[in-house]
Amino acid sequence: MDSDSDDEWYDEEANQSRNRLRNMDLQQGANTESLHDTPESWFHEGLEINRYEFIRTENVCVLRPFLYRDIFSAFDENKLTKQPDMYKRCMIKILSMEEAVCFPEENKHMKINISGRENCGQTYTDDVVYVKISNKGEPQEDKKYYGEVVSFIDRNRFKNISHPVFVCLIDRRQSHLMIPICKTIPKINILHGRLAKKYPERLRTSVEIHKHDSATNDLKFHKYHNITEGDKENWLFIVVLLKWKLTNIHPLGAVLGVVHSSKDIEEGLTLISYQNNLPLWFDYPSVDEIKELRDDLQAPGYQDITKTDKIFTIAGIEESFINHGFSIRKMTKNRVRVGIHVTDVSKVVHKDDDLDIHARSRGFSFHSSNTAHNKLMLPDHINNLCSLEPGRRRYAISVFFDIDQTEPSNIHVTEKTISRTVMRSSAHYNYIEVENIINNQDIIDDIFADDIKILFLLSKKLKFQRLQMESFTSPISVDFTTTDGIMKTKKAHSLVEEYLVLANNTIGSILTQNFPMNVPVFHPLQMARDSKNKQREWYFLHKYFAHLLCSKQEEIIEEKGKLSLVNALPSPYYLYHRLADPSSMSENDEDVNIDIEKRLFVPIQSNVLDQIVRNVQIDRTIDEAIELICSDFVHPKQGLALKEWQSFEPSHQYRMSVLHRENPAVQFTCPLSRYCDIIIHRLIHAYLDEKNTPYDFTELRTICAYLNTLLKKTNDFNLQYKELVFSNYLKQQPIIFQGFVSHVSREKYDIFIPGLQDTMTKSCVCKI
């Protein structure tokens, strides 16, 4: 008989189970560990663990039999010389549970695909390994190389660390699996034997937390941590790797702490910083040292322009300090003088002093969506002393350009001057305010409104001279880490970018003429021959759309010529007939009109075309229509072609000028945020004083190599931070994205999502 009586709930087994669950729930309030109690050294040096004694006390379930190849045994290196097409010395990058790619050291633009966990071996991302290429070293039918890792050579991440510590996300389906956000390894199988034995019903919603005893180097069970299915992605876990057996597909690990990233994004940000081995905190100078930094701004050699030049500054809302400012003065009827004024940090931070050494070790500043979370290269008192705040006199290096507008359609930069100045900003704007001024919205009567509009009009002409048709390209980017991002303020960003590029190129040209070998320039690596082959293959696959890419106009492809709208190939009509008409039609149909077939067809999505037409019909200008037309990622064919191009396009790095003589560009406009800019400032002083460079070649080359390493870490950090903020935003407010199918196979199809190309979620895989 059914009954609602409470007496039926008081059997011993049910009561014990309820008590256990109640005890677990009571612990939940105290489950989150504070990063202040987590030593930063864990993430850099790992842990010492008496793992054998501890592991024997745990019962860890094995999902299925598995056996890795022993890649740590000796390898016959003669195979490299006897069969160079089959065996390569490579660096591996883990992409997912079942996929990795390897880049041969002799040809870093060649890519070898590794499919299957057993073929990847017990490797970390950035490990140096020997790879055997299948198909006797020849590409497969899809023109890609495939292979397997056959031997381990050296480790770059967590080298000589037996028990590294990772920041992880929890697997959506299996709560005993953790996914390191740095992608060093795919997953870690955490200790969960106690949970499986006592609370099997909580395996999907609870995690065991352990504590490390620094005295005995033992791990001891501490407590349970409860999570809900809908909240899994908001938790970041601190996980130590214990052991990786050949018979285990995943290494064994243990959770040491947990942070709720959406409730405390600062701690999530700090965890990501730790994981990327980025230093966060400063050893601040003493009060006496700070007093010594106070300047009277009466140093010889600096020209006082506080009364002659009206200067204003522009910076992002999230930026804590201001690096540069702008001015414009009318000289004659058709000639203006534009000034770019950059704070002179080298006047305060001297070569090889303590502040310089600290700044060099950090290399870059990072600006987050909350200024309180910014991680800065220099300590606050230096930033305050140098930041171009309105009304404050500051040391600066100013670059002046005389621009002749006698020919309205073709302006000329007639004179370029570099000066040491003492300046004072009269106003500061963020990008939204500048955008509003350019668009005649809100603050159109501002004191600098006319100057900003004139500078914008000049910047458009300068940009067209520099990039020609490429200047019309319009970026597509989704970024929730900034309030005044480029999608909201394209014109303001374009204005600032153009004058900073002009200043950087001018400084680079002058310095490389005076110090030909000893200038750190910032340029993409030279494209290797394999990448040039990929260029030609890319052109063959996308020849009907390659010339339509606005962002690649004037790009030279070996043996194929220049990408340009004027060189665009007439598209076969049958391609587009199929898009509009479901009836069958082949390339050889005799009734195809020859005149129609010679026309240039450009595929545009109907909703995009409707928006273009509305902009032209309603708006007084066609700027927004041009923006849609020239946004490569808005159009499926162009977007997929550009995505594939970017996969082999060389990245920018710091290099010595002797290796790059053509169009040398430096970075000098953000010395509060980039260490290399401070180096350039010191070289400018040497040039103005007609002295020798303060750096020798070997020293600068070493600094460039170190900054390139930091740059990669910083870029990874930025990427992971964007993911963190983006995921938290989606939890609160889901968004519908438009995607394009980029690849189809029998097992799956890949979808590319425009706007997310700068994040790890730029594409998704759907299994059939």
Q: Looking at residue 40, what is its pLDDT? A: 74
In the prediction, which pLDDT does 114 show? 94
Tokens at 574, concatenated: 């049958």
Instruction: Tell me the pLDDT band of 526, cut-offs 50, 70 and 90.
Output: low
* Model confidence pLDDT, tens digit, residues 532-566: 778 888 888 888 888 888 888 888 887 788 888 88
What is the pLDDT at residue 190?
92
Mean pLDDT of 679-707: 94
Shortest CA distance to 465 belongs to which of 505, 411, 429? Answer: 411
Long-range contacts of 40-43 (CB under 8 A, 24+ apart): 40/274, 40/280, 42/165, 42/238, 42/240, 42/256, 42/274, 43/165, 43/167, 43/274, 43/275, 43/277
Q: How far apart are CA 251 and CA 186, in angstroms?
A: 10
Helix (H), strand (E) at residue 699 = helix 697-732
Residue 266 has pLDDT above 70, yes or no: no
pLDDT surpassing 50 at residue 25: no
Residue 382 pLDDT exceeds 70: yes
Mean pLDDT of 687-716: 92
**Per-residue pLDDT reduced to its tens digit, 456-485:** 999 999 998 888 877 888 778 777 777 777
Q: Which of 290, 327, 269, 108 is nearest to 722 (CA)?
A: 269
pLDDT digits (tens, 9 = 90+) for 490-510: 899 999 999 999 999 999 999
The pair of structure tokens assigned to 400 is: 């002046």
Which pLDDT does position 443 carry in this prediction?
61
Q: Which residues pair with 189 in a beta bridge?
A: 177, 252
Contacts of 751 (CB under 8 A, 6+ apart): 739, 740, 741, 742, 763, 764, 765, 766
| 3-state secondary structure at position 206 | strand
Q: Are 114 and 148 in contact (CB under 8 A)?
A: yes
CA gap 358, 383 in Å, rounded: 14
Please state the separation of Cα 587 from the chain's center in Å. Answer: 43
How buried is residue 637: exposed, middle or buried, by Cβ count under 10 Å (0-12/13-18/19+)? buried
Q: To 10 degrees, what angle do helices 529-541 and 636-646 make?
A: 170
Placement of tokens 């497969």 in the chain:
140
Report the C-alpha gap between 194 and 740 in whole angstroms.
Answer: 46
Residue scoring higher pLDDT (116 or 2): 116
% of the chain surpassing 70 pLDDT: 80
pLDDT at 198 (0 to 100): 84
Q: Which residue has the higher pLDDT, 230 or 168?
A: 168
507 vs 625 pLDDT, higher one: 507
**CA dist., res. 309 & res. 328, Å (int):** 8
Grouping H, G, I as helix, E, B as strand and the rest as coil, residue 249 is coil
* pLDDT of residue 274 exceeding 60: yes
Going 146 to 149 to 154 to 155, the CA torsion angle's sign is positive
Q: What is the dihedral of CA 404, 410, 413, 414, to 10 degrees?
A: -60
Task: State yes or no: pLDDT of 231 exceeds 80.
Answer: no
Using CA atoms, how far residue 196 sits from 58, 91, 459, in Å, is 11, 38, 65
Of the candidates 267, 115, 125, the one whose C-alpha atom is nearest the C-alpha of residue 182 is 125
Task: Please say whether the dihedral angle defined by the alpha carbons of residues 632, 635, 638 and 642, taken in this order, is positive or negative.
Answer: positive
Whole-number CA gyration radius for the chain: 30
Can you tell me the distance from the alpha carbon of 476 to that of 688, in angstroms, rounded to the nearest whole number? 41
pLDDT grade for 427, boundaries at 50, 70 and 90: very high
Query: What is the average pLDDT across 222-239?
Result: 84
75-99 per-position pLDDT tens digit: 988 898 899 889 999 999 998 888 9
Provide the Cα torsion 432, 433, 436, 442; round to 10°: 130
Q: Name the band, by pLDDT with cuts 50, 70 and 90, for residue 608.
A: confident
**How high is the pLDDT of residue 178?**
93
607 phi and psi angles, rounded to 5 deg: -70, -35
Can you give the pLDDT at residue 349? 92
- What does the pLDDT read at residue 60? 45
Query: What pLDDT is stored for residue 148 in this prediction?
Result: 94
User: What's the rounded Cα separation, in Å, for the pair 509 and 519?
Assistant: 10
CB 403 within 8 A of CB 413: yes
pLDDT at 473: 81
* Residue-wise DSSP of 409-450: TS-EEEEEEEEEEEEEEEEEE-HHHHHHHHTT-S-TT-TTHH
Structure tokens at 585: 């039609």
> Can you tell me the distance from the alpha carbon of 168 to that of 180, in angstroms, rounded to the nearest whole number?
4
Residue 237: burial class (beta carbons within 10 Å; 0-12, 13-18, 19+): buried
DSSP state of 31: -
Q: Rounded mean pLDDT of 35-64?
A: 63
101: helix, strand or coil: strand
pLDDT at residue 527 in the model: 58
Total length of the chain: 768
Q: Which residue is it, tokens 């880490």?
A: 481
Report DSSP state, residue 457: H
Report the percentage of the chain scoring pLDDT > 90: 34
* 292 pLDDT above the threshold of 60: no
Residues 531, 551: Cα–Cα separation, whole Å: 19
Domain boundaries, the chain: 303-519+671-722, 529-581+602-648, 736-765
For 469, residues 6+ apart whose C-beta sits below 8 A from its C-beta are 550, 553, 554, 564, 565
Helix (H) / strand (E) element for 558: namely none
**Measured distance CA(442)–CA(279) in Å, rounded:** 42
pLDDT the model gives residue 445: 65
Sign of CA dihedral 104, 108, 113, 119: positive
> Residue 66 region, left (φ>0) first, then alpha (ψ -120 to 50), else beta?
beta
How many CB atoms sit inside 10 A of residue 33's CB? 20
Give yes or no for residue 243 having a pLDDT over 80: yes
Burial label for 40, CB within 10 Å (0-12, 13-18, 19+), is middle
Angle at 661 between CA 660 and CA 666, to 5 degrees: 70
- Residue 141, judged by CB atoms within 10 A of its CB (0-12, 13-18, 19+), counts as exposed
pTM score, whole prediction: 0.76
Torsion of CA 158, 164, 168, 172, to 10 degrees: 110
Whole-Å CA distances, 493 to 316, 454, 484: 10, 15, 10
Residue 397, classed as helix, strand or coil, is strand
The per-residue b/e assignment along 85-106, b for 16 or more CB within 10 angstroms, e otherwise, is: ebbbbbbbbbeebebbebbbee
d(CA 328, CA 299): 25
Average per-residue pLDDT for the chain: 81
Q: Is the confidence at residue 375, as pLDDT, over 80? A: no
Place of tokens 């701690």: 267
Vertex 121 angle, CA 119 and 127, to 5°: 115
Is pLDDT above 80 for 286?
A: no
The answer on pLDDT for 150 being more than 80 is yes
CA–CA distance, 113 with 99 (Å, rounded to integer)? 7
